[in-house]
Structures are given as structure tokens and as C-alpha cells.
Copies of this chain bind each other. A is one copy, B any other.
Amino acid sequence: MRDMFHEELEGINTSLLGMAALVKEALDQSCQALKNADLAIAERVIAADDTIDHTQHDLDARIINLMARQQPVATDLRTLVTALRISADLERMGDLAHHIAKLARMRYPNKAVPELLSTTIDNMSNASARIMEKMVTVLQYRDIARALEVEQDDDEMDKLHRSIISILLSDDWTYGIETAIDMTLLGRYFERFADHAVSISHRVYFMVTGDYAEEKN
């Protein structure tokens, strides 16, 4: 039988997973809004960002409250501190999905992404969806092998990011400065999104093993 503390800890884990599900939905929808210049979906993501922020506030308050009441040590304390950090990463990932949706809205009724970059950006959307899915598995099952996989997907994301810059600098780029600015920022949003997922995976890795996974820059 589990004691009260571990029941509450499990509740906090469940809420973290719920928050991750919100971020996943925001990411999926913002990618869809971007691909199809879908204003309604973009607006939905933008409106939902508050929900993610409130979820974080509530969750953090519960974590701190549990620390104060139960005064955990060792592994339990480490788990709670890690939960605080993961919620901060998730909140930031929600912001980035929100930025992607805002770009889709700003360029509506046009598509924000020009034809020349549509495959690369689709690949970034797919990579971020894959990263998000693995990261949820890492959170849910503390799956260490999967945590290391997220890092490989992040390498893929970095490659895609570099290929955007190459395309922007090639003679094929005929879409002008404004779209180049949009694509520079969009590439950066996806790249940062993946970085936060890597950071969460590192945190879970550390929580489970007590060791730091190899840090990347």
C-alpha cells in the first residue's frame, strides 16, 4: 500500500503528464495551422496558452506545498525538484507552440511557409511531434533508453535548422527579407522546442540514475 506522500507524488506526475498533453496538442495544432493557414486553429492554440500557464502555476504551488508539508529527503526531494523544472520547460514549450501559431495568424490568409521550404518545415513539424511523443513516454515510464533517443531526434532537428539557413542563403530564395525573417524565427522556435524536450529527458535521466546525461550545446 502506498502512503499519502507517494499518492500525492503520483498525482503530481499525472498533472505533469496532463500538462505535457496540453503542450502536445498546442504543438500539433500550431503545426496544422501553419501548414494549412488555418486561422481558427491558430486562434485556438493562442487562447489555450493561458491554460498551460495556469496549469503550471497550480502544479508548482502543489509541489511546493507538498515539500513544505512532507519535508521529503533524498530521492523524493529530487523528484519534486525535478517536477518543478520539468513544468518550467513544458511551460516554455507551450510558449513556443504559441509563437508558431501567432506566425500562422499573422500571415493569414497566406501560408506563412513558402513552397521552397514547405518540405523542410514539414520535417521539422514531424520531428517535433516525434520528440514530443517520446518525451511523454520518458515522463510516463521514466524510460531512460527513450530519453537518450530524444537527443538523436534533436540532432536531426539541428540539421533541419541548418538546412533552412542554407536555403535562405541560396540563389533559389526569391521570397524576400520578410519571409526570411519569419523562417529564421520559425526555425529557431522549433529548435528551442526540441532543446527543452532534451532538457526534460536529461532531467528524468538524472532523476532515475543520479547521473547527468552527456550535455550538449
Interface residues of A (CB under 8 A from B): 53, 64, 67-68, 71, 73-74, 77-78, 81, 84-85, 88, 165, 168-169, 173, 177-178, 180-181, 184-185, 188, 215
**Residue numbers in B under 8 Å from A169 (CB-CB):** 177-178, 181
Give which listed residue, B68, B74, B173, contacts A177 with CB less than 8 A: B173
A177/B168 contact (C-beta < 8 A), A67-B77, A68-B77, A71-B71 known = yes
Please, how many angstroms separate the alpha-carbon atoms of A184 and B67 in the complex?
42
Please, how many angstroms separate the alpha-carbon atoms of A74 and B68 in the complex?
7
Chain A binding site: helix, strand, loop or mixed by DSSP? helix
Please, how many angstroms separate the alpha-carbon atoms of A53 and B212 in the complex?
13
Q: Mind listing 10 A-B residue pairs with CB under 8 Å?
A: A68-B73, A81-B84, A84-B85, A88-B88, A165-B181, A169-B178, A169-B181, A177-B180, A181-B184, A185-B188
Q: Which 6 A-B pairs have the closest CB atoms?
A: A71-B71, A68-B73, A184-B184, A181-B184, A177-B180, A68-B77
**Residue numbers in B under 8 Å from A53 (CB-CB):** 215
Give which listed residue, B73, B181, B215, contacts A168 with CB less than 8 A: B181
Please, how many angstroms separate the alpha-carbon atoms of A74 and B69 in the complex?
10
A166 to chain B, nearest CB (A): 11
**Residue numbers in B under 8 Å from A168 (CB-CB):** 177, 181
